[in-house]
Amino acid sequence: MKEITMEQMVNYAKQYGFIFQGSEIYGGLANTWDYGPLGARLKNNVKDAWRKRFIQERKNAYEMDADILMHPRVWEASGHVGSFSDPLVDCKECKTRHRADNLINDFTHSSKGDAMNEEEMMQFIKENKVPCPNCGKSNFTDIRQFNLMFETQRGVTKDSKNIVYLRPENAQGEYVNFLNVQRSMRAKLPFSIGQIGKAFRNEITPGNFTFRTIEFEQMEYQTFCKKGKDEKLYEYFKEYGKKFYMDLGLPEEKLRFHDHEKLAHYAKAACDIEYQFPFGWGEINGTHNRTDFDLSRHQEYSKVSLEYLDPDTNEKYIPYIIESTYGLDRTVLALLFDAYQEEELEDHTKREVLKLRPFLAPIKVTVLPLVKKYHKEKALEIWEMLSKSFMTNYDETASIGKRYRRADAIGTPWCITVDDETLNNNTVTVRDRDTMEQITLPVDEVVEYIEKRIKF
């Protein structure tokens, strides 16, 4: 069994239709990637799993779908206009641009840079002659703060009054609708609002494939609670998140918590879940105790009361928020790395196999006529029946062995072979992706057989 490098993953993902470079025929646009047919399905399966765990299976949890564009005052209130920025330096020698904190982290093989302010970072870079990763020299400009929000204009004139932002996080859509959801759902604290949606950040540093992109999708979850209940919920959601990732199939030894020393402008406590990628540990989730910061600021800026009236005690107060946010693209990338294997078989041939848990597999089953000339018609009939229940492929080209390999390489858990037995007895051979074992099943039992095995 061999693990895959980042470069091999990029090639694999392209070859099999998971992920393509964005605007490829124009030479690409840096840090953008397009999901192909299998990637889009995998993403949807992760979203469905998240919805099940976070909305369906939890009491007092509501999903919403707020717009990407919001009133610009939202981002002033949230603090993003003032302080959502990266500390950037330019190399005076080779003119490449870098994040000062990353330069220090890479140089020290630690997260030292995360805990430093601007002055401390500059001093450290100078004193230690931290080198430019591109040319190796140490001759940088001073740090400049670069706001990560994308701006666009409303209407026709390029007037600063018309600026609107592409949201850098989903959370604010959930916050400004806090009372709408609470009242329309007659919800009592604690309750949660979840949202899956795109976010945009003007990231300039290299991205490690889909790990850092300028357009990405988040699955964000905000739990509103009374002050005093926040710390317990914060701990609860850290563990709930880790359990979710393990349920998706990521092994515990490749997951770890990383508590933040330097906190975002809104947080009292923050902890990431990191996954061990081939390039090192990388954040895939963040849990934050945002206190009453966001709702208080929205109340102040909008002049609309965002207080909750506690029906049991008649108290009025602004709730605390525990946020748990999941990067969808990073989750998909971690799942691909984890599931991909190159195996040497007993006969010394090799196979590529994507061992995704069956509920995540983009295609659940492939139907293969053993001999096209004789078995095609019956195979298509079975394909049609199965396609009413699952994403089903039909493959009639090349030898049966090659067709198995193709299905293995994209993670299809079952292959169904249609042969003379099918024509005579209405039975099919079902081959398992992981064990490669085969069993015989009556055609009318196949749907139930698969359904039982793809539950999440």
CB 291 within 8 Å of CB 265: no
Q: Which of 43, 80, 201, 357 binds ligand GAP (CB under 6 A)?
A: 201
The number of helices, as runs of H, and strands, as runs of E, in the chain is: 15, 23
Stretch that binds ligand GAP, among 37-45, 133-141, 322-330, 358-366 (CB under 6 A): 322-330
Strand partners, 35: 19
Stretch that binds ligand GAP, among 88-96, 139-147, 284-292, 438-446 (CB under 6 A): 284-292
169 binds ligand GAP (CB under 6 A): yes
Which of 19, 122, 166, 171 is close enough to bind ligand GAP by CB under 6 A?
171
Q: Minimum distance between the CB of residue 201 and ligand GAP, rounded to whole angstroms?
A: 5
For the CB of residue 212, give the shortest distance to ligand GAP in the complex, in Å: 4
Q: Give me the amino acid identity at 336.
A: L
Strand segments, DSSP code E, in 144-208 are: 144-147, 150-153, 163-166, 191-200
Q: Shortest distance, CB of residue 455 to ligand GAP, whole angstroms?
A: 26
Residues 324-353 that bind ligand GAP (CB under 6 A): 325, 327, 329-330
CA angle 249/171/328 to nearest 5° reads: 25
The 371-400 site mask, x for binding ligand GAP (CB under 6 A), equals ------------------------------
Number of residues that bind ligand GAP (CB under 6 A): 18
Report d(CA 445, CA 452) in Å as an integer: 11
Distance CA 338, CA 162 (A): 45
CB of 293 to ligand GAP, least distance (A): 12
**Is the CA virtual torsion 68, 72, 74, 77 positive or negative?**
positive
286 binds ligand GAP (CB under 6 A): yes
Q: How many residues does the chain have?
A: 456
- Secondary structure (3-state) at 402: helix
281 — phi, psi (to 5°)?
A: -75, 135
* Min CB(283)–ligand GAP separation in Å: 5
Cα 192 to Cα 178: distance, rounded to the nearest angstrom: 9
CB-nearest residue to ligand GAP: 327
CB of 122 to ligand GAP, least distance (A): 24
For 436, left (φ over 0), alpha (ψ -120 to 50), or beta?
A: left
The structure tokens listed for 249 are 């199939």
- Is position 238 an interface residue for ligand GAP (rule: CB under 6 A)? no
C-beta of 261 vs 451, nearer to ligand GAP: 261
Binding-site ranges for ligand GAP (CB under 6 A): 169, 171, 201, 203, 212-213, 216, 218, 220, 283-286, 323, 325, 327, 329-330
